[in-house]
Amino acid sequence: MNTEKVLGFFQEITRIPRESGHEEQIVAYLQQFAAARSLECKTDEVGNVMIAKPASKGYEDHPTVVLQGHTDMVCEKKSTSNFDFSKDPIHYVIEDGWMIAHDTTLGADNGIGVATAMAILDDDTLPHPRVECLFTVSEETGLDGARAVKKDFISGKTLINLDDEDEGYFCVGCAGGMDTAGTFKYIPMHLTTDHVLLKFTIGGGQGGHSGDDIDKGRINGVQQTARFVNEVWKYHVELCRIAAGNKRNAIARGGEVILAVPARQVRKVVAAFADFAARLKAEYAVTDPGLYFEHEKVEWKKEAIDTDTARRVIAALLAIPHGVIAMSADIPGLIETSTNLASVKMEEGRRIVIGTMQRSSVNSQRIFLSQRIAAVLELAGAKVRHSDGYPGWKPNMHSHVKDVCVASYKRLFGREPVVRAIHAGLECGLFTEKFPDMDMIAFGPTLRGVHAPGERLDLASLDRFYAVLLDVLKNL
């Protein structure tokens, strides 16, 4: 299957800045694309775009199909990279059949879904019913675009979400999610002249998607940074700065702290860090072989976080759970509930903010888990807030579109595909609330390393995915 057109559009998309909340340029690009082809196009107040294409000859009486993907991307880069997501085009290479961005995220999640829909809109040789291509914004920061879609924005009753990441799998259900954050206020504490300021860095963790990869046992840079600080309190250090993790839906790949160390204790603290590094390298030798540890003397303002607040923050970071909490009793191998200790950041106003994200296919368990984490944060003295969250998508094993997809895959490739639910969040959960009669499925090409530098797209899987999608449109 020739996917040159899909890749052509995706290559254009990699040159367009589109971090969540900053999708203006990709929205304009889609609008210009539609105008150049005289296609029906509308944009809502948050930036969601719908582009419709009439049915091809002979398909006028077939039901409308919605093709859906999101325009934003998770912007993560290596700590050594100077890449600017607000203006720089993504740099990628083709290696051994994979399209890879080595130093940043690639944005195939979900740029390849957007490009696929565009290729169908652009090709007048394809047989298909009327298609409505729905491009949503800010999926990665809380599914905000899907949340804002009005009921009259689309008319189709069958929706194909193009945001799954394993070719040969058809997704019919997903987890719901929500964020829980805790904010600490601190008082600056003046440092005495006998303190030496040292920065300690943990880096090179593999990271990954906080849903798809939460069961991989990879290092959590937030918790391990706190672990080191906790181990060296005995040397009477003071915490000046802490920064670890970034996006709520990405596993933290590392972190750094600046500590004020009494001059007489510098050798002991440095030795403790070397010992700590050796232990972590051994603990994570399989999951995170690229770990590195650095320390250096730095210049910093002569103040630290007050000792009481610093110790409460570190205690909270150690106590907050991270990883898989429960497996599904109904679907073997499916993670039911998990939580991601995503970040700790110092912000203006002398605030320290801890960010976490909870997922579950059981909404009551997701809420309970967020309450547990809130309890830890409140006991540590933080002010807690929760996001609105989004619902899970309950599987419908009697779905018509699911049956058509399975039949297409078997006909094209002679083998049975896998029908499953996933632990990641998809916009389909919100669509089930807005459009309760919508028949939905999600599938896509194989992606690996999403939400982390090194994200890659399997080009052979893209061919198979596109072939199935075209066959499904022909047979719906």
Give Cα separations from 227 to 219, 270, 286, 313, 363 (angstroms): 12, 15, 20, 11, 31
| Domains of the chain, first to last | 4-174+392-475 (3.40.630.10), 178-386 (3.30.70.360)
Whole-number pLDDT of residue 367: 95
Residues 6 or more apart whose Cβ sits within 8 Å of residue 65:
128, 129, 130, 131, 132, 156, 158, 159, 160, 473, 476
Whole-number pLDDT of residue 388: 86
The pLDDT tens digits of the residues spanning 413-431 come to: 999 999 999 998 899 999 9
Handedness of CA 86, 34, 404, 392 (dihedral sign): positive
Given a cut of 80, whether residue 2 has pLDDT beyond it is no
Given a cut of 90, whether residue 11 has pLDDT beyond it is yes
336, 328 in Cβ contact below 8 A? yes
The pLDDT tens digits of the residues spanning 278-297 come to: 999 999 999 999 999 999 99
- Residue 129: CA atoms inside 13 Å, Cβ hemisphere, count? 18
pTM for the full model? 0.80
Of 141, 144, 142, 135, which is closest to residue 163 (Cα–Cα)?
135
User: pLDDT band at residue 139, thresholds of 50, 70 and 90?
Assistant: very high
Whole-number pLDDT of residue 382: 98
Mean pLDDT for 358-383 is 96
pLDDT above 90 covers what percent of the chain?
A: 90
Q: Give CA angle at 226 (274, 260), nearest 5°.
A: 70
Given a cut of 90, whether residue 186 has pLDDT beyond it is yes
Residues 6 or more apart whose Cβ sits within 8 Å of residue 4:
none
134, 50 in Cβ contact below 8 A? yes
Instruction: State the residue for tokens 């595909």.
Output: 417
The pLDDT tens digits of the residues spanning 218-243 come to: 999 999 999 999 999 999 999 999 99
**The one catalytic residue among 72, 109, 132, 140:** 72
User: pLDDT band at residue 395, thresholds of 50, 70 and 90?
Assistant: confident
Whole-number pLDDT of residue 424: 85
Mean pLDDT for 14-36 is 98
CA–CA distance, 291 with 204 (Å, rounded to integer): 4
User: pLDDT band at residue 1, thresholds of 50, 70 and 90?
Assistant: low
Given a cut of 90, whether residue 130 has pLDDT beyond it is yes
Given a cut of 90, whether residue 438 has pLDDT beyond it is yes
CA–CA distance, 35 with 24 (Å, rounded to integer): 17
**The one catalytic residue among 23, 76, 139, 212:** 139
Whether 139 is catalytic = yes
Given a cut of 80, whether residue 203 has pLDDT beyond it is yes
Where is average pLDDT lowest: 62-66, 341-345, 361-365?
Answer: 361-365
CA–CA distance, 182 with 189 (Å, rounded to integer): 22
